[in-house]
Amino acid sequence: MGVLVGSWLMKVVFISSYILIQSSKAKAAAKTRHLKWEVEYMHWFPDGREGVVIGINGQFPGPTIRARAGDTIHLNLTNKLHTEGVVIHWHGIRQIGTPWADGTASISQCAINPGETFVYRFKVDRAGTYFYHGHYGMQRSSGLYGSLIVDVAEGEKERLKYDGEFNILVSDWWHKGSREQEVDLSSKPMRWIGEPQTLLINGRGQFNCSLAAHFSNSSAAPCKLRGNEQYAPYILKVHPNKTYRLRIASSTALAALNLAIGHHKMVVVEADGNYVAPFSVENMDIYSGESYSVLFTTDQDPSSNYWISVSVRGREPHTPQALTLLNYHPTSPSRLPTSPPPVPPRWDDYGYSKAFSKNILTAPGSPPPPSKHDRRIVLLNTQNYIDGYTKWSINNVSLVLPTTPYLGSIKYGLANAFDAKSPPDRFPHDYDVMRPAANQNSTYGNGVYMLEFNSTVDVILQNANALKENVSEIHPWHLHGHDFWVIGYGEGKFSSEKDESRLNLKNPPYRNTAVIFPYGWTALRFVADNPGVWAFHCHIEPHLHLGMGVVFAEGAHLIDTIPNEALGCGLTGKMLMKNNNNNNGHN
């Protein structure tokens, strides 16, 4: 028996030593990747019609960042927008130890002023599919986004097996600029931005024409694409009988989407940078802020090409499908598919959407969530009026960001930088989520949910009726600085008495973005273990612009030095100027 135990221990020690050696190798091989970006407005043809986009280094979408887990990104960003600030949020990167690099204006940093340069320096600690985007005003609607792909660390082996990979960033596009959209949304009465004119795949779409116009049931004109690479479709070129990884991320400003590859099944293997238990689908929903990896096998007739389609979900579609081709070698990419594009589920088939979301479970062997929560915050999502202006509110508070970034004001204890009173943890028990509110008026606020460091927090996202009767919208919520376990979905109003036992604490997915469906609730659990101040908000750009978000803070006393460049506005800016003047006086 002693020999067996000794042998087992030796094996454990060997495995542990192997892991330590691998970890040490990965740490030694980690690199600092230096990047230099200039952000500016440019004329572009995203969908064949000329418009103005926000580009990076003359590119739209912005350059793809490719790194390995453990690498450090060192990025000098110069703002060449002549009349407005800019910040970049690294969506899905938790910013452990670098909360000032999260890229949220008025939360983690001051906006970078025209002509100024700001240095983002942070570690990409986990492999996965991510992206980046503007987080100032509605600049994401103007095309300020790009892909961020993190491969496994040097010396480590990717657990997924495939022969090649592609990366798709899907987005929506309007012919009206984001600044005009902001004015429309902030008008009284509100002028809604309407549905996007075009859906884009890697920044490319086709307006007022169709790649599938040769089918008899199509009323659209055929697209004339010769000579313009800016809106020619991004074609996926494949070889027969191979397995490919398709990375997909959604930077849409409004649209929920459905993606399909004609005649090919997809196996979902990753969600928001975390492995999931694989499951097969013919098409998949993807909401703003989400990212996935799927595997597909090229097992169809190689003499044909096949459609890849992206369609609107969750809103009555007035935007045509985005289409591109899966092009089999050696077939010419000019040979269009002989079958019509995939037909998506009906836009309001929420049962289909819920079934897909509930199929996403964490990969076997992943750590489960804590069994109990220390604090539960219930967030009611409502549409309201404030002085006749249309707003979105959370527990009857519409978020208005302060002039001083929360990170600096909390770290340094600056009084009067934001509302001292904490926002409410819940809404009135008798509120009827199925009908418009009796009192549709709301209030502005910028208070903070102060979380006990290392505590386990439950958030119940509660959907409700909007201003109009029989209207409740889908909202994808994104948490900065953390991933969370999605421990449950339900219909109607959440009840701790009847719904507690239905929560999944065994194998819930670990994510950074989750959706709440119309007239329903979604339950999340996370550990407040990352010192910083973090945004939590609806990822639909107009909804956030109209106040649909909250702010969490935890462990501010543990934050190391914050770069002065992140704090040079509002009260923190005055504090820095005072300190500098005092120091100069002593010299």
**Prediction pTM value:** 0.93
Please state the separation of Cα 168 from the chain's center in Å: 14
Other C-beta atoms within 10 Å of 382: how many?
25
Residue 26 has pLDDT above 70, yes or no: no
Distance in angstroms (rounded) separating the CA atoms of residues 408 and 89: 18
Q: Which of 275-289, 494-508, 563-577 has the lowest mean pLDDT?
A: 563-577
Distance in angstroms (rounded) separating the CA atoms of residues 557 and 579: 20
**Whether residue 278 has a cis bond before it, omega within 30° of 0:** no
pLDDT over 90 percentage in the chain: 89
Rg (CA), the chain: 24
Q: Across the chain, which distance is largest between two alpha carbons, in Å? A: 82
**Stretch 26-51: mean pLDDT:** 91
Q: What is the pLDDT of residue 126?
A: 96
Distance in angstroms (rounded) separating the CA atoms of residues 134 and 129: 18
Band of residue 29 on the pLDDT scale cut at 50, 70, 90: confident
Q: In the Cβ-directed half-sphere of 272, how many Cα atoms lie within 13 Å?
A: 30
Q: What is the pLDDT of residue 506?
A: 97
Please state the separation of Cα 52 from the chain's center in Å: 23
Listed residue (550, 547, 538, 551) closest to 253, CA to CA: 538
Please state the separation of Cα 531 from the chain's center in Å: 21
**Stretch 317-346: mean pLDDT:** 96
Q: What is the pLDDT of residue 225?
A: 81
Distance in angstroms (rounded) separating the CA atoms of residues 413 and 261: 53
Per the prediction, the chain carries an average pLDDT of 93
Band of residue 582 on the pLDDT scale cut at 50, 70, 90: low
Q: What is the pLDDT of residue 229?
A: 85
504: CB partners within 8 A, 6+ apart: 487, 488
**Stretch 267-291: mean pLDDT:** 98
Q: What is the pLDDT of residue 11?
A: 31
Per-residue pLDDT tens digits for 419-455: 999 999 999 999 999 999 999 999 999 999 999 999 9
Distance in angstroms (rounded) separating the CA atoms of residues 71 and 31: 5
Per-residue pLDDT tens digits for 469-497: 999 999 999 999 999 999 999 999 999 99
**Stretch 173-183: mean pLDDT:** 97
For residue 121, give both structure tokens.
């320096």
Residue 259 has pLDDT above 50, yes or no: yes
Distance in angstroms (rounded) separating the CA atoms of residues 587 and 583: 7
**Stretch 107-125: mean pLDDT:** 97
Band of residue 580 on the pLDDT scale cut at 50, 70, 90: low
